[in-house]
Amino acid sequence: MENVLLTIHLILALLLIGVVLLQRNEGGALLSGGGAMTARGAANALTKLTWIFAVAFFITSIALTVVASQKSKGGSVVDLLPGAPAPTAPATPTPAAPAGNLLPPAPADAPVTPTAPVTPTAPATSAPATTAPATTAPAPASN
């Protein structure tokens, strides 16, 4: 089904290009009115043919999109490339370490050795420097 639609789509694209190139270069050719099959009428026939091919081209475009979306499995095109990494399962969360332990968690098969919890020390705070008001000694009297 998709190949048939794609073939029709490509043929319509080529026909649309050919019909557009055959038209005379007049301003507003698609909007011009017309009558009998004169030079003006031939332009109208090409204009109507252009509209028919254009509408058919858009219909096949939408049909191809619908067919492709139905065949899609929700994956990416990159997943189909050879050598692309296989999709991985989501990682399982590791258990959180106890609050006092700063060591990384041991692997599941490693023997468990008890360790003393590390107690954080409070940062040393320095007392604010208190400065006594400067006292000036009385200057010796000079007589």
- Tens of pLDDT, residues 46-97: 889 999 999 999 999 999 999 988 887 777 777 778 876 666 666 666 666 5
What pLDDT, on the 0 to 100 scale, is given for residue 7? 95
What pLDDT, on the 0 to 100 scale, is given for residue 11? 96
Q: What is the dihedral of CA 76, 81, 82, 87, to 10 degrees?
A: -20
- Tens of pLDDT, residues 8-29: 999 999 999 999 998 877 655 4
Residue spans per domain, the chain: 2-25+37-73
What pLDDT, on the 0 to 100 scale, is given for residue 6? 94
- Tens of pLDDT, residues 99-111: 665 666 666 666 6
CA atoms of 1 and 67, how far apart (whole Å): 8
Number of H helices, E strands in the chain: 2, 0
